[in-house]
Amino acid sequence: MLKYNEKSLKNQHHLLSIAPMMDWTDRHFRAFHRVLSRRALLYTEMVTTGAVLHGDRARLLGYDPVEHPVALQLGGSDPRDLAASAKIGEDLGYDEINLNVGCPSDRVQSGRFGACLMREPELVAECMAAIIDAVKIPSTVKCRIGVDDQDPEESLFRLVDLSAKAGVSLFVVHARKAWLQGLSPKENRDIPPLDYPLVYRLKRERPDLTIVINGGVPSLDAAEEHLGHVDGVMLGRAAYHEPALLAQADRRVFGEAVEDVDLFEAVERYKPYVAARLAEGWHLSGMTRHMLGLFHGRPGARAWRRILTVESVKSGAGLEVIDAALAAVAGAKQGHDRAAFASPEMV
């Protein structure tokens, strides 16, 4: 394990976390990722205060106990609504409340939440003060370094300082600006340049705060490099598209004396969850879609994706689909291993 700073060791669940991602980090995704890492902190998709207060809470906020530690990310800008929503999240057993100050979509902007709040740091601080007053669990902020023509050296530090005065001690910083006009949410994840040094500087100049870096982190190697400068790393698309990297996280990032998770065993451990959800009426495809990248770069990966994609959408699809896909990977692995050990004359 790297020699992380003392602040990191006091907030170990934040050493590695998985970013809240709309349409991706649902309850099935989180349960799947939990069989790969016991320790990584998981986040819900962003849920608006309106949905929490007036929507179907069982559908929007339901989760399985295996997901802990799990944080609820809220979207909103009304302090009273955020406080009420945070209390509901706490009562449901979530381990943390996080305020979204980073999403740049037009829909989010029209609701006056997400990245556009970078322009209203005083309001963010007011919102966080209300949340902190309402709950006992940790309350955190996920933000960008700025938006549009803002100077990140001013916008980031002002937002952090005002929220810190309101009682926030942990900030997840996506090390990019967001452009509120002219770029789609997808483009906002790639086009604005990353400024990791600015986030490192934030940590150096605000050493009492816990700073988690996010944005463009492709691997555990990169995460470990960042952990020499900040308190934690949040992975996003890399963890979704190549979830196998989490199989090494508990050993490499959290320093546990454990073997890396075997991917075949991880699937077997996920199957009871799948069976339980199928019995409740969920569709298999809603769960297997999060598993497609598990064997990325390994023998049988294409067959795995094909079987899960084609068969899981069929009426009545059940665990037999996962078993068939797993068998295809196992067969491909055996063939690959035999070829690798064969003599040159036999190849």
pLDDT tens track for 6-51: 444 445 889 999 999 999 999 999 999 999 999 999 999 999 999 9
- Average pLDDT taken over every residue of the chain: 93
The domain boundary, picked from 232, 252, 272, lies at 252
Is there a single domain that holds both residue 202 and residue 332?
no
pTM of the model: 0.92
Contacts of 148 (CB under 8 A, 6+ apart): 177, 178, 179, 180, 181
Q: Which residue is catalytic, options 103, 116, 127, 143?
A: 103
CATH code for the domain in which residue 318 is found: 1.20.120.1460
The domain boundary, picked from 196, 223, 252, lies at 252
The domain boundary, picked from 196, 224, 252, lies at 252
Q: How many domains does the chain have?
A: 2
pLDDT at 345: 53
Residue 51 exposure: Cα atoms within 13 Å on the Cβ side = 17
Catalytic site includes residue 103? yes
Is there a single domain that holds both residue 243 and residue 324?
no
pLDDT at 346 over 70: no
Which domain range does residue 143 map to?
Answer: 6-252
∠ CA 253-254-258, nearest 5°, is 100
pLDDT at 104 over 50: yes
Binding positions for FMN: 20-22, 73, 142, 174, 214-216, 236-237
Using alpha carbons, select from 41, 12, 40 the residue that is nearest to residue 231. Answer: 12
Strand partners, 170: 210
Amino acid at site 328: A
pLDDT at 64 over 90: yes
CATH code for the domain in which residue 112 is found: 3.20.20.70
Burial 302-330 (b: 16+ CB within 10 A, else e): ebbbebbeebbeeeebeeebbeebbebbe
Is there a single domain that holds both residue 217 and residue 333?
no
pLDDT at 105: 81
Report d(CA 172, CA 100) in Å as an integer: 10
